[in-house]
Structure 1
Amino acid sequence: MIRPDLPPAPPAGGVLEAAVYAADLDAAEAFYGGVLGLERIRRVGDRHVFYRAGAQIVLVFNPAETARPPDPDARLPVPPHGAEGPGHLCLAATASELDAWRTRLEAAGVEIEADFHWPNGARSLYFRDPAGNSLEIAEPRLWG
């Protein structure tokens, strides 16, 4: 519901980052960096590992670590956050890239849960990361 009592919202410039949660960051790193081939930006111990996906950033957090409040003397006082249960993340790919993705994922032993065309003709591949998060690779025209 739009609240008429609020001043107008400035335009959102897009999604800068999206997060999924995984207790086993070693397995997550092997999957996101090794299988998906995303460029790793940084890993901080057992708390998080971050990746670049095009112009956006994929954050993989250990939920047990991010639920803790920051140290009062922390240089970056990020508030506690987290999620329980599997999340969802969708990466963009062209129609021809989707075939290459399917081949790569199957070669890595990743089970494809669904491969279908939406009513508007856009195609999506669904699979899971080692933490059980639902991942999708889809044509951007899905939302166009």
Structure 2
Amino acid sequence: MRPSAILESALYVTDLAAAERFYREVLGLEQIARAEDRHVFFQCGRGVLLLFNAEATRQQPEPGAKLPVPPHGTAGQGHLCFSATADEIERWKAHLTEGGVAVEADFHWPAKPGQAKGGRSIYFRDPSGNSLEFAEPKIWGL
């Protein structure tokens, strides 16, 4: 057996309100759920991006809790990559720059066997310091 896709991806943030604004207003993601001081969730294509206040998710759920999700959380900078075409990456770079978000890196990956050229990536940070990327799927041969 093998999983068919990743349904959710999680990042842990230090300022939930700032992260909520950034992912909604700068990245334009559709917010689908929110729990005060705990989490905010966004739809992204066919997947879901979960943003958590790590301190709030490290607690064991109460016995009989409605949602008995086991504790989880991490500290430090995480990473997430969004899929984009070459044209979309160029537009994202301009959009981020115009919005005051620094693009830390912009480069082309080496070509995979059988490819004429490699794909492009740009990297930037969210308000909590998480490393975000827009990349062409062909960086993975997809």
- Aligned match of 2:128: 131
- Aligned match of 1:74: 65
CA displacement 1:53-110 (0-9 Å, x = unmatched): 1111110000010011112121110000001110000000000000110011011100
Aligned positions of 1:1-144 closer than 5 A: 10-120=1-111, 121-144=118-141
Counterpart-to-counterpart distance in 2, 1:40 and 1:142: 28
Letter in 2 for 1:17: E
Counterpart-to-counterpart distance in 2, 1:52 and 1:91: 12
Counterpart-to-counterpart distance in 2, 1:52 and 1:25: 17
Letter in 1 for 2:61: P
CA displacement 1:37-62 (0-9 Å, x = unmatched): 01111111110000111111110000
RMSD across aligned positions (CA): 0.7
2:103 counterpart SS class: coil
For structure 1, the 5+ residue unaligned runs are 1-9
Relative to the length of structure 2, the TM-score reads: 0.93
Counterpart-to-counterpart distance in 1, 2:32 and 2:72: 21
Letter in 2 for 1:21: Y
Write out the 4+ residue segments of structure 1 that deviate beyond 6 Å after TM superposition.
none
Count of residues in correspondence between the two structures: 135
Letter in 1 for 2:99: A
Counterpart-to-counterpart distance in 1, 2:54 and 2:106: 30
Shift of 1:23: 2.1
